[in-house]
Every structure is written in C-alpha cells, then in structure tokens.
C-alpha cells in the first residue's frame, strides 16, 4: 500500500530539514508518495496567503503531513494547519541522548499539550482605547478527549499541569476533568501548578514521565525542557487528530543559519519517526530512532551540537544506519 504524505517545508531551515527527513523516510523501505505543498513567509512575499487554501486542503485530506517551520507567519501557518488536521493533542517528547550535552542528563518527559483551546481559542477584543481582552476557553469535552488519549498513552500514570489556584473555573475544569477520566480508567495522576512545575523540571526532571498540559502551559513547559535537554534541535512533535495528524519539529526557521546547509535535521527526522508510528510502521519508527541515537552518540554532528558536519552528512549517516 502506498502511503501518501503531504510535505510542507516552509521557510528557513524548514527547506533543509524536511528534505532530509524525506530522504530518511524513503530509506525505510515503506512505499511513500510525497506531495509537496507551499506555506510560509516566502509564499506571502510572493503576494499569496502564507497558508494557501490548496496547502490547507491537502493537509486536511492527508493521513499524515510533515511540516518544517514558518517565519514571521508561523502562527498564521501552523495554527490553521493544526486545526485542519483536527488535532486535539500535541505530543512533545523531550529527552536527552548519550553524546549530547544537556543541562539535565537523564531527562525523559513527554508533554501532551491540549491543542485546540485555552488562550489559542483566541477571542480578543479592544474594548476601549485603554482596555483589551482575550477570552480563554476550556471545555470539558476537549479536556476529556485529551485525558482519554493520555490514559492510552501513559497507562502507568501522568502529571496534570494547571494553574487552578488562579484560573479556578477554567483550569479547575481542566484539572478535575482530566483527573476524573484517569480515575475512571484506573490510571494514576498527580497534579502540579505550572509555575512550580517549571521550577521542578529544572531541579528534578527525573520525577516526571508524562505531563498533560493546557495549551499555553504545554507550549512554555516543552520549550523550557528543550533548554534542559540541550536545545530545540532535538525535539520532535506530533499533532494528533481522530483521523489525521501533522508532524513538525518544535524548532523554528533559525534565520541565523538558514541556507548554509548546516541545520540539525534530527528534530524533523524524529518527527518523521512519530509519523511512522502513527501509520503503524512501528518497527521502521524504532529503526529511525535507533539510527538517530547512533549518530548523536558517535557523530557526525552539526554545529549546534558542537560538530562541524553538514545537514547532508548527518542525514546520510542516519540513512546508513538503517
């Protein structure tokens, strides 16, 4: 069976790391057909919409999409794309690797970020000259859907992040719903205030396995964890919906190094491994992860990891290990 995957490199190093991940996917032996689509600043600069309807439609109809990064237009591209695949959870693993310097060696945490609401529901208004408002939305149904996914993902239990001491109604609903669903499923949970959790992740990340978060909390806590494991160059992510999914590195366009051929492709290759998992090619997914780990441990490495290899050297080394 041919697996059709939509590929949206986007801007900056997206143009370098997405083709690298495609090379790796092709080397797995799975029968892929890649359909490339455009999005990002470069489309907007040519007078188009940063997310053209055609790209949106392709993602909305594909089983799986691989996205790179977008520049200034990031929010205008990635938020509608997450919506187009109807993704309700953003899965963001943050772990360290042998061979990679990390502030917290031994960290291995997966964030399950609510992906549809919170402040991202985005109802804003300028009420007066002086006052603006944003309506943050938290629903029981979205919290339930996330919690059910979390119970499948982490039957061994998970932590629920929240700020319900201040956002009593909204984060209270989030926390209580997630905890209740877990209880019904016989899954253990503990809860943590997001501010305290930000500190505890810096001090004792080994105490955390899976963390279920409201949307913005997941955004911040996963980026902070990128800092603890050695930078954004290693963090993949998966936006999972009921019927489709979108995979993307957590990093952005890295304008400082874009076009030089030295971007670290690992975050995007690891996102491609999540795509393989999602399409039920679990062995191939494991092979890709093993290959990335081997390369991280033994080189070659790109400059962000202290090496002087190019993107293509790293990609080839991953492919050779498959």
Ligand X SMILES: CC(C)[C@H](C(=O)O)[C@@H](O)C(=O)O
Strand partners, 112: 91, 212
Least spacing, CB of residue 85 vs ligand X, in Å? 14
- The reply on whether position 121 binds ligand X by CB under 6 A is no
Three-state DSSP class for residue 295: helix
- The reply on whether position 74 binds ligand X by CB under 6 A is yes
- The reply on whether position 255 binds a second copy by CB under 8 A is no
The sign one gets for the Cα dihedral 158, 222, 264, 6 is positive
- The reply on whether position 70 binds a second copy by CB under 8 A is no
- The reply on whether position 166 binds ligand X by CB under 6 A is yes
x/- site string to a second copy, residues 195 to 234, per CB under 8 A? Answer: xx-xxxxxx------------x--xxx-xx-xxx--xx--
Least spacing, CB of residue 255 vs ligand X, in Å? 14
Among 31, 46, 53, 129, binds a second copy (CB under 8 A): 129
- The reply on whether position 60 binds a second copy by CB under 8 A is no
| H-run or E-run covering 239 | strand 236-241
- The reply on whether position 173 binds a second copy by CB under 8 A is yes
CB 9 within 8 A of CB 37: no
Measure Cα distances from 166 to 35, 105, 162, 169, 170 in Å.
Answer: 46, 33, 9, 9, 9
Count CB-CB contacts under 10 A for residue 184.
11
3-state SS, 95-127, equals ECCCCCCCCCCCCEEEEEEECCCEEEEEEEEEC
Window contacting a second copy (CB under 8 A); options: 18-26, 54-62, 133-141, 275-283? 133-141
Closest CA to 305 of 236, 232, 239, 238: 232
Window contacting a second copy (CB under 8 A); options: 10-18, 122-130, 241-249, 268-276? 122-130
Given the DSSP bridges, would you call strands 108-114 and 87-95 parallel, antiparallel or unpaired? Answer: antiparallel
Is 277 designated active site? no
- The reply on whether position 161 binds a second copy by CB under 8 A is no
Among 38, 119, 157, 307, binds a second copy (CB under 8 A): 119
The sign one gets for the Cα dihedral 180, 185, 188, 191 is negative
- Report the partner that residue 133 touches, choosing among a second copy, ligand X, none (CB closer than 5 to 8 A by kind): a second copy
CB 113 within 8 A of CB 218: yes
Is 304 designated active site? no
x/- site string to a second copy, residues 87 to 106, per CB under 8 A? Answer: ----------------xx--
DSSP 240: E
Measure Cα distances from 105 to 151, 203, 227, 306 in Å.
Answer: 27, 11, 12, 17
Is 104 designated active site? no
- The reply on whether position 119 binds ligand X by CB under 6 A is no
CA-CA distance, 13 to 265, in Å (whole number)?
9
Is 63 designated active site? no
| H-run or E-run covering 92 | strand 87-95
Among 30, 38, 60, 79, binds a second copy (CB under 8 A): 79
Least spacing, CB of residue 193 vs ligand X, in Å? 7
Window 77-96: residues binding ligand X (CB under 6 A): 78-79
Among 133, 135, 140, 165, binds ligand X (CB under 6 A): 165
The catalytic residue positions are 120, 163, 195, 219, 223
**Which residues sit at the interface with a second copy, rule CB under 8 A?**
74-75, 79, 103-104, 119-120, 122, 124-126, 129-141, 163, 165-170, 173, 194-196, 198-203, 216, 219-221, 223-224, 226-228, 231-232
């Amino acid at each position: 069976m041919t697996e059709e995957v939509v590929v949206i490199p986007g801007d900056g190093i997206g143009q370098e790391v997405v083709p690298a991940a495609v090379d790796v996917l092709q080397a797995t032996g799975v029968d892929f057909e890649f359909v490339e689509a455009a999005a990002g600043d470069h489309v907007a600069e040519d007078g188009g919409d940063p997310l053209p309807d055609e790209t949106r439609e392709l993602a909305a109809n594909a089983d799986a999409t691989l996205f790179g990064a977008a520049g200034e237009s990031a929010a205008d591209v990635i938020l509608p794309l997450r919506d187009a695949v109807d993704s309700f959870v953003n899965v963001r693993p943050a772990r360290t690797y042998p061979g990679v310097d990390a502030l917290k060696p031994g960290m291995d945490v997966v964030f399950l970020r609510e992906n549809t609401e919170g402040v991202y529901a985005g109802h804003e208004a300028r009420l007066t000259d002086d006052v603006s408002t944003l309506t943050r939305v938290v629903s029981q149904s979205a919290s339930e859907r996330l919690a059910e996914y979390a119970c499948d993902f982490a039957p061994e239990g998970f932590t629920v992040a929240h700020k319900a001491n201040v956002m009593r109604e909204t984060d209270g609903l989030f926390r209580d719903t997630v905890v209740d669903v877990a209880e019904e499923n016989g899954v253990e949970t503990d809860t943590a205030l997001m501010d305290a959790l930000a500190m505890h992740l810096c001090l004792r990340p080994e105490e955390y396995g899976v963390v279920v978060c409201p949307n913005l909390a997941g955004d911040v806590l996963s980026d902070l964890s990128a800092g603890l494991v050695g930078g954004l160059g290693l963090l993949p992510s998966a936006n999972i919906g009921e019927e489709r999914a979108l995979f993307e590195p957590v990093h952005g366009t890295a304008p400082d190094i874009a076009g030089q051929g030295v971007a670290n492709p690992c975050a995007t290759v690891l996102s491609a491994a999540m795509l393989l998992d999602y399409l039920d090619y679990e062995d191939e997914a494991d092979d890709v992860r093993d290959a990335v780990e081997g390369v991280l441990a033994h080189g070659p490495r790109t400059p962000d990891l202290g090496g002087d290899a190019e993107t293509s050297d790293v990609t080839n080394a991953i492919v050779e290990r498959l």
